[in-house]
């Protein structure tokens, strides 16, 4: 090398020119990680080539790349395509490098090592010759993203390799290895990587000296056929074009064929102009925009925001184990074996093990077991694997036991993954707290068949470590899967997003009288491979029913079950596997099944309908827009990271047509965006008598109001606040114990309250003598006793004797009233810092006051003051027509949300573990004391269902509807917050958790006293200068499901943001405590904590 010049573009992109002693200049470019050819990089390459060929002592140029990562170049930078237009002078076909270079007198040769795709191959086609290594591969994959080759590929490639070879490469996005490329005439010489530049330089010299011809590709016609032959060749591809374009729906395939033939007929100059025009038209077409979006979204799935430095980096597993060798387990094993990973499959018996091995062999199309596979019936070798993927039956207890075994059989760094498609991963990991807290548990949800489907949902819990996430992301790359990182919930991202479609389809056929076959046909015409009924048959109606039970428990506010499907199962109609479902199947013939309206008409009278009362567009919207709605929830809750991930999940997981860009892209670009989608859903909601899956989600409504793109979560403008605002700087609570039988049944309120006082002071550094007052809400304790207990708690908690205390009793709102009183005292200057909260022992104080005698003068609403709370619940149901189902549904939601929060440890930072003791009786009946620690809410139950609650009898009224299941539990517990002005918090360096903005109370008819929020909430919103739509979170006290449900509906609150981590029905309702305990941080990271309002019934 005689001299080297380096031109840098920043970001790692640069071009280096090296002058060799033999008169050849080597122009080397790089743009990590895949050497994408951006416009600036192309211009720099062009300038260096022009400079070199203009020098008298240069005989020619070699263009090569820094191919350390296996890329000559991935092609053009697609991010820049948006700037191209028909009149754009920047279109690359007019660039020197793509239009003039081949006409230079001096030879320019490309030296290719690694991937040479798209625009990079078109760059190589402009060269006088191409030299490649055995590792080189070539492709023009532009049709995959809705385009045609736009840098001259449709014109130059057929001239070099022949029309038939060229069309095959382009139409099928064929990847051609070096050997095939050489055979076709695409490659002129081959060299090893270490000799590539020398060999390419020699080709330059051979062309310059006349020993090799200098080919001008666009003018080369030796391999072009006559027009008659060209049309005959094109006819060979007609069926391929029709199939690939889905019957002509996708334009780029026919456009590529037509543009190529145009160049054959009119010459390359006209052909290049035609190519440019068609390229830009496609680029600006709906299909082009959709497929480019899909391509970029797929590339972006690995951008998760998870730290990858140091200990967070993670290692790609080299040895793996799979539990279960069924269709899914064998498919997972196959994918890993193909990637060179050693795999152990664990099965339950020798017969199952043999079957598992055969499945893998069949997947690999091998007659013998692969060397990387070992199938066993024990756990031998598990201590050496890096990851275990459990693919057993969808049974919680089975998976829990398997994970207990895996924890003991594997090493302490082994990743424990589950392939569950619906079960909460925290629940599966509940039996292995050590491994879970180490961050080793994760979800690896493959789609069936696992060795073919490209998507992998990587499901993280709140405990999953960054290293575990990154290790599984690397595994996904190695086994050639597209990963999307999602959060933990029932159904995760893809299955949860799509659960509405089957339920809506059932409603449409049973309630609206729409023929199920017409529904399927409309969705299949739209572009889905199968409609919801055909899909249910494929999955299996028994599986669909089982999954429906899970969704019914997790999302009871909007999920509905199908009675018709259960009737079909009673007849053993399970779908394709039983030969009968919605369709009829010939067991001897593989096929999609035949409609059988007569057979199913007894259950689906609509199956005999010839016409639909709604249009095909309406059918598509009714099925898919609820899925869009659910996707908005996923993004708002942080389950999905970004809209592009949702789109990839919809395309790769549920076969949403890629030429529409994915579910959210389609909704945004073909259905008018958030505002129009919201209006369509509202229309369907009212059309179907308020079917809940059509009710717009909070996330969609907020997005529509802000006129933002679907999937974006806008936050309303917030004020910074005044220095005189009273803020919360700390807040802690106990776990809520079950009264009379829980951990606090023998614990006085002072022993529950004192540790909270200590914790508030310790975490903030506030001096005990700086506290101006202790205000405690309590209900059942006698006034004199309650204040004594509060005083005792203050001393036990470390407060000095000069700090006073008082108790407040506003029944269920006492805890909230205590905070309001503390705020008022600070604002009035009575003191600077207050501890305020509530404490209640419903175990140690009588719940019913037998000494209270009605006043004989009390009549009408005065007499109602003596009505018990349970009776008021029944009064609410009678007066406002609330059903038992409504109350039970609210209770199921309460338990579902509370159990998810508890399993994930969401409240662990707000709950102070309390050491105490309970009185028990031993086997002989002798009373003993047992030392325990209460560190969780004891009333939360996993798996509460509508079916289970329906079996409970009413408590307060014969033939009533208020039961123990849809009412709050009686509980013991305490909660406390530390209050001060914002200026005081700033002086002390404390960050406010929230600001106390406004407070209101309101009275209602005592007979229906639980609907107090309906009167109080409008008052406090008016005081705060806010509207219902501006609130991010609501907390409504669930004393009774009837009262809470009526308040929610009457106020028009969106249930997505009401009691997001469960309410009193699940968590418990220690009367004086609730108003404070529900104050704690209830939100997911995607909620803005600056405007959260809490209301409680009295």
Radius of gyration of the chain (CA): 35
Q: How far apart are CA 781 and CA 623, in angstroms?
A: 55
Nearest to 700 by CA among 668, 662, 661, 670: 668
Q: What separation in angstroms does the CA of 343 have from each of 383, 444, 890? A: 13, 16, 46
Q: How far apart are CA 548 and CA 554, in angstroms?
A: 10
Task: Judge whether 354 counts as a catalytic residue.
Answer: no
Task: Give SS3 for 1070.
Answer: coil
Q: How far apart are CA 992 and CA 1087, in angstroms?
A: 16
Other CB atoms within 10 A of residue 875 CB = 24
Task: Judge whether 90 counts as a catalytic residue.
Answer: no
Other CB atoms within 10 A of residue 904 CB = 21
Cα first-last separation, the chain: 88
Cα 569–572–575 angle (5° rounding)?
80
Q: How far is CA 903 from its chain centroid?
A: 19
Other CB atoms within 10 A of residue 17 CB = 20
What's phi and psi for 250, nearest 5 deg? -110, 120
Q: Are strands 1092-1095 and 1033-1036 parallel, antiparallel or unpaired?
A: parallel
Q: How far apart are CA 950 and CA 885, in angstroms?
A: 8
DSSP string computed for 38-84: -HHHHHHHHHHHHHHHTSTT--EEEEEE--TTSEEE--B-GGGGGG-
Task: Give SS3 for 635.
Answer: helix
Q: How far is CA 1008 from its chain centroid?
A: 42
Q: What DSSP character marks residue 85?
A: -
Which one is catalytic: 48, 122, 342, 910? Answer: 122
Q: Which residues contact 608 (CB under 8 A, 6 or more apart)?
A: 515, 597, 598, 601
Cα 996–999–1000 angle (5° rounding)?
170
Nearest to 190 by CA among 237, 114, 132: 132
Q: Are strands 137-139 and 176-177 parallel, antiparallel or unpaired?
A: antiparallel
> Would the CA dihedral through 79, 82, 83, 87 be positive or negative?
positive
| Angle between helix 163-171 and 153-161 (nearest 10) | 130
Q: How far apart are CA 163 and CA 542, in angstroms?
A: 52
Which one is catalytic: 48, 95, 142, 342? Answer: 142
Neighbouring C-alpha atoms within 13 Å toward the C-beta of 770:
14
Task: Give SS3 for 131.
Answer: strand
Q: Which residues pair with 994 in a beta bridge?
A: 728
Q: 611-646 in b/e burial notation, b at 16+ Cβ within 10 A?
A: ebebeeebbbbbbbbbbbbbbbbbbbbebbbbbbbb
Question: Which H/E stretch holds residue 29?
Answer: strand 24-30
Q: How far apart are CA 465 and CA 921, in angstroms?
A: 43
Task: Give SS3 for 241.
Answer: helix
Q: Which residues contact 374 (CB under 8 A, 6 or more apart)?
A: 342, 343, 344, 345, 381
Q: How far apart are CA 256 and CA 250, in angstroms?
A: 12
Omega within 30 of 0 (cis) for the link into 33 = yes
Q: 31-54 in b/e burial notation, b at 16+ Cβ within 10 A?
A: beebbbbbeebbbbbbbbbeebbe
Active-site residues, by number, are 122, 142
């Amino acid at each position: 090398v005689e001299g080297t010049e380096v031109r840098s573009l920043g970001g790692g992109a640069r071009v280096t020119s090296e002058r060799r002693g033999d008169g050849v200049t080597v122009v080397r470019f790089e743009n990590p990680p895949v050497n994408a050819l951006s416009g600036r990089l192309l211009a720099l390459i062009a300038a260096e080539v022009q400079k070199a060929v203009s020098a008298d002592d240069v005989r020619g140029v070699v263009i090569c790349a820094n191919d350390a990562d296996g890329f000559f170049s991935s092609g053009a930078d697609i991010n820049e395509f948006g700037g191209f237009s028909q009149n754009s002078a920047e279109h690359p076909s007019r660039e020197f490098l793509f239009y003039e270079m081949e006409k230079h007198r001096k030879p320019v040769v490309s030296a290719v090592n690694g991937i040479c795709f798209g625009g990079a191959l078109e760059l190589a086609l402009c060269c006088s010759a191409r030299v490649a290594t055995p590792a080189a591969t070539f492709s023009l994959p532009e049709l995959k993203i809705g385009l045609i080759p736009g840098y001259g590929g449709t014109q130059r490639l057929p001239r070099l390799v022949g029309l038939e070879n060229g069309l095959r490469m382009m139409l099928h996005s064929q990847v051609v290895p070096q050997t095939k490329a050489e055979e076709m005439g695409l490659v002129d010489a081959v060299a090893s990587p270490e000799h590539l530049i020398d060999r390419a330089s020699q080709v330059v010299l051979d062309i310059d000296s006349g020993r090799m011809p200098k080919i001008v590709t666009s003018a080369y016609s030796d391999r072009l056929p006559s027009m008659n032959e060209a049309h005959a060749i094109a006819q060979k591809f007609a069926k391929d074009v029709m199939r690939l374009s889905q019957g002509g729906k996708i334009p780029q395939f026919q456009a590529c064929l037509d543009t190529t033939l145009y160049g054959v007929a009119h010459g390359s100059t006209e052909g290049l102009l035609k190519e440019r025009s068609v390229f830009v038209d496609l680029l600006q077409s709906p299909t082009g925009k959709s497929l480019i979006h899909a391509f970029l979204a797929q590339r972006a799935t690995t951008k998760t925001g998870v730290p990858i430095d140091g200990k967070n980096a993670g290692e790609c597993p080299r040895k793996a184990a799979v539990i279960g060798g069924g269709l899914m387990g064998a498919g997972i094993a196959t994918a890993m074996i193909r990637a060179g990973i050693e795999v152990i499959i664990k099965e339950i018996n020798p017969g199952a093990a043999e079957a598992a091995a055969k499945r893998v062999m069949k997947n690999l199309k091998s007659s013998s077991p692969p060397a990387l596979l070992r199938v066993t019936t024990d756990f031998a070798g598990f201590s050496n694997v890096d990851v275990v993927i459990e693919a057993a039956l969808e049974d919680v207890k089975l998976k829990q036991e398997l994970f207990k075994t895996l924890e003991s059989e594997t090493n302490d760094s082994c990743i424990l993954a589950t392939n569950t498609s619906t079960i909460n991963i925290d629940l599966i990991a509940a039996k292995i707290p050590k491994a879970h807290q180490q961050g080793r548990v994760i979800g690896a949800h493959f789609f069936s068949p696992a060795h073919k489907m490209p998507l992998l949902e990587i499901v993280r819990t709140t405990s999953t470590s960054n290293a575990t996430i990154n290790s599984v992301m690397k595994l996904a790359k190695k086994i050639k899967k597209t990963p999307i990182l999602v959060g933990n919930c029932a159904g995760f991202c893809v299955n949860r997003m799509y659960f509405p479609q089957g339920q809506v389809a059932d409603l449409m056929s049973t309630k609206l009288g729409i023929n199920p076959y017409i529904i399927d046909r409309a969705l299949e015409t739209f572009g889905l491979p199968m409609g919801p009924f055909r899909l249910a048959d494929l999955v299996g109606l028994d599986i669909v029913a089982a999954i429906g039970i899970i969704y019914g428990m997790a999302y009871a506010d909007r999920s509905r079950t199908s009675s018709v499907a259960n009737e079909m199962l009673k007849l053993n109609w399970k779908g394709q596997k039983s030969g009968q479902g919605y369709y009829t199947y010939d067991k001897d013939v593989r096929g999609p099944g035949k409609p059988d309206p007569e057979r199913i008409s007894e259950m689906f009278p609509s199956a005999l309908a010839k016409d639909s009362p709604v249009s095909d567009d309406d059918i598509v919207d009714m099925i898919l827009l609820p899925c869009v709605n659910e996707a908005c929830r996923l993004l708002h809750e942080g389950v999905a990271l970004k809209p592009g991930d949702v789109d990839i999940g919809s395309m790769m997981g549920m076969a949403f047509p890629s030429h529409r860009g994915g579910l959210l892209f389609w909704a945004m670009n073909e259905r008018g965006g958030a505002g129009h989608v919201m209006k369509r859903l509202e229309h369907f909601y009212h059309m179907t008598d308020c079917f809940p899956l059509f009710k717009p989600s909070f996330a969609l409504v907020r997005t529509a109001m802000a006129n933002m793109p679907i999937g974006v979560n806008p936050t309303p403008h917030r004020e910074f606040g005044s220095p005189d605002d009273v803020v919360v700087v700390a807040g802690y609570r106990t776990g809520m114990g079950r009264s009379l039988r829980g951990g606090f049944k023998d614990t006085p309120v002072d022993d529950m309250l004192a540790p909270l006082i200590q914790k508030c002071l310790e975490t903030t550094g506030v001096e005990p003598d700086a506290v101006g007052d202790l205000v405690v809400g309590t209900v059942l304790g006698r006034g004199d006793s309650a204040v004594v207990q509060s005083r005792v708690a203050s001393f036990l908690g470390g407060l000095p004797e000069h700090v006073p205390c008082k108790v407040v009793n506003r029944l269920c709102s006492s805890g909230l009233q205590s905070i309001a009183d503390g705020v008022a005292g600070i604002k009035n200057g009575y003191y600077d810092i207050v501890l305020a909260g509530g404490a209640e022992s419903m175990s140690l104080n009588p719940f019913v006051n037998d000494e209270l005698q009605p006043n004989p003068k009390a009549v009408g609403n005065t007499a109602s003051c003596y009505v018990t709370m349970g009776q008021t619940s029944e009064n609410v149901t009678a007066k406002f027509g609330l059903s038992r189902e409504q109350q039970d549904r609210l209770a199921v939601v309460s338990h579902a949300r509370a159990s998810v929060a508890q399993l994930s440890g969401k409240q662990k930072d707000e709950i102070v573990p309390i050491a105490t003791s309970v009185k028990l009786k031993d086997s002989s009946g002798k009373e003993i004391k047992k030392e325990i620690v209460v560190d969780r809410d004891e009333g939360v139950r996993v798996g509460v269902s509508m079916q289970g609650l329906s079996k409970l009898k009413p408590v307060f009224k014969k033939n009533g509807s208020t039961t123990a299941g849809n009412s709050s539990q009686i509980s013991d517990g305490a909660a406390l917050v530390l209050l001060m002005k914002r200026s005081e918090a700033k002086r002390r360096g404390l960050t406010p958790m929230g600001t106390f903005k406004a407070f209101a109370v309101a009275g209602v008819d005592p007979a229906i006293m639980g609907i107090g929020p309906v009167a109080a909430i409008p008052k406090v919103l008016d005081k705060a200068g806010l509207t219902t739509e501006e609130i991010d979170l609501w907390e409504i006290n669930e004393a009774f499901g009837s009262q809470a449900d009526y308040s929610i509906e009457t106020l028009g609150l969106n249930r997505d943001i009401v009691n997001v981590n469960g309410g009193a029905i699940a968590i418990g309702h220690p009367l004086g405590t609730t108003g404070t305990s529900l104050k704690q941080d209830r939100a997911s990271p995607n909620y803005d904590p600056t405007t959260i309002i809490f209301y409680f019934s009295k």
